[in-house]
Amino acid sequence: MSVSPNDPDSTRTVGVTGDDLRARAHRDQMHVRLLGVAGGFCLIFAVVAIKLSIATVIHPMAPEKRQIAPQVPEIPKIDPKGSLAGDFSLPQVHRASIVDRNGQTLALSLPVAQVYANPQELIDPKDVAHKLKSILKDLDEQETADRLSRPKQFVYIARNISPQQELAINNLGIPGIYFEPGERRHYPLGRMAAQIMGTVDIDDHGVAGIEKYFDKRLLSDRRPLHLSLDIRVQSAVREEVANAMQTFQAIGACGIVMDVRTGEIIAMVSLPDFDANNFAHATNDERFNRAVTGLYEPGSTFKLQTTAMGLETGTIHIWDRFSSVPLHIGRFTIRDMKSDHFSPWLTLPEVMAYSSNPAAAHIALDVGGKKQSEWLRSMGFFSPVPVELPEAARPLVPHQWGIATVMTVGFGHGVAEPPLAIVRGTAATVNGGILVTPTLLDKEDPANATASAPGISPQFASGIQNAALEQSVEDDTPSSAADAPVTPAGPRILSEKVSSLLRRLLRLDVTHGTGRTAESPGYFVGGKTGTAEKIGPHGGYLKHVNISAFTGIFPMNSPHYAVYVMLDSPKPTPQTHGWTTAGWNAAPTVSKIVSRIGPMLQIFPDTEHAEQIDAQMALPLHPAVPRGVRPLGPGNDPGDPRKAEAEHKAEKEALKRAMAERKKATAEVMDE
């Protein structure tokens, strides 16, 4: 059918075709644009989704510190090999942690919060107190409501709340309740080394022990403070000392393990003790550190010093003999507890092995009071032990050094020393003659050798640096120790020759003397027993109430560690046959300790070469006298107290005559 140009329908069709096509083309263009924009957004969202998946699922990123609330700790790092042990610290705490020599944490600060309120901003104090009680179970609701009702702008509600409690209180949405960050000191091992650790006050400042001594260091340096303690050894010593204390019903006890070459204290136990997390409720007796604060008469352990003094000054020799007959001083008598096996004259090895009091008094008189006091002063017995504990006590020593003092001090009476001082003195006699400085710091940690570190004196830092030099130490017997020998740092007190002889004397006391029960097979223990009568609260000695102690060294053929045990007022048992002396209680405790801690310290029993080592260390009880030498003994006894007393009286008479003549001369001058 043909369409005429003049047909109106044809005009309508042509019009639709032109305008509609243009409109349709415009719409199609808009659709394309919209699809392009939509596709662009889809692409952007896809990229963002992929990025989010990578950042949150595939490779999640740790949040920045500013994005984390103050009480949220850092995300822990994976440490399968334990390489981060001992270096644990939280970013929101300020006080550094304390660890032992192996990185075991002994003290650390945990994040806590203090919650307080502004009562002026509270709507209903009673309702607030009721809601807080649901979270803080120990809160006194009525008292808190009363305090929040007062016209104040600041009221503490609770201290040291946990992060979980802080979050729960914050979720209550109470206006006027605020938080401030804080930290609380925590001691994960509780009673272990409690007296050494001490504690901190409410303001996080140390008030006792290591916490007080190194207070500035712990607050200024976030690196952990490494102590010389080995908590494994500490635990073993504590267990054995506690068993002995219970077995012999002692009222107190202490145990010490110290490296005789470096002065590092590996263990220090004082019983009874307390939970370091509950310092405020501990009794004075539990807080009392018997190792450094307690002052006790050393008893026969001091005979080692008397012998060392006599040998070093050349006053006595190994072959000399000394009277064991009881000595009378006024109304007092110096005698031995049991002397039926004694000869009236004992050689020096017998004096040490049998622990004769009169013989030790004779040696002291041979040396003389002046040299004796000078010797003890040079050994540090007149001053507090220089250890990093503020509780270190000053010893009690006589003000006047008369004949009675010389004799009684010679066998460990008349002076009162802390156990650590005895350990230090024993170490000097066996380590080649060097007086080391006891320390609770790990000398292998470079951070502890910094002289500028707060709380560390330059003198102590110098000692640490000197002790780092490792050299060979000459010895007369083979060594069974695993680690390389080191040269002790400190002043020389004894010659190598005298120190070597003293080692053999101490070994003799365990093989043939009063310390037999201290023997530990393969460890070649040496040492000296010491039993002193305890002084009563009103003065005077208490009969049958003793301080029993044993100071030991192992291995004696190459001295590494000193082990000391003291029991305060032990009771007799059927096994001790009524005795309370150190050979029956303290010495066997040392034997048990040595057997347990030896492997921990990488020192293992050497039973294969036992006969050879013992033969090389053997010392006869009756040494031969060299030809042409007149030994001390019968007919040649300069230490006879009667002779000394006569000389003392003669000196006093001469002084009186001199004073009288001077007074007479002065009077004559005045008359003229």
CA dihedral of residues 585, 587, 591, 593 (deg, nearest 10): 70
Q: Which helix (H) or strand (E) holds 233?
A: helix 231-247
Distance CA 450, CA 446 (A): 7
Q: Which helix (H) or strand (E) holds 528?
A: strand 526-535
Strands 98-99, 155-161: pairing is: unpaired
Q: Which of 251, 265, 250 is closest to 209 using CA atoms? A: 265
**E strands within 125-214?**
155-161, 177-186, 199-200, 206-208
Quote the radius of gyration of the chain (alpha carbons, Å): 39
Output the CA–CA distances (angstroms, integers) from residue 18 to 13, 25, 30, 468, 655, in the order listed.
9, 11, 19, 102, 148
Q: Mind telling me the catalytic residues?
A: 300
Give pairs for 61-64: CB < 8 Å, separation 24+: none
Distance CA 320, CA 346 (A): 8
Could you tell me which residues come within 8 angstroms of residue 650 by beta carbon, excluding any fewer than 6 positions away? none
Give pairs for 165-172: CB < 8 Å, separation 24+: 165/113, 165/135, 165/136, 166/71, 166/113, 166/115, 168/135, 169/115, 169/132, 169/135, 169/136, 172/131, 172/132, 172/135
CA atoms within 13 A on the CB side of 514: 35
- Token readout for 257 is 């393990």
The dihedral built from the CA positions of residue 212, 217, 220 and 223, taken in this order, carries a sign that is negative
Query: Which letter does DSSP use for residue 668 in this model?
Result: H
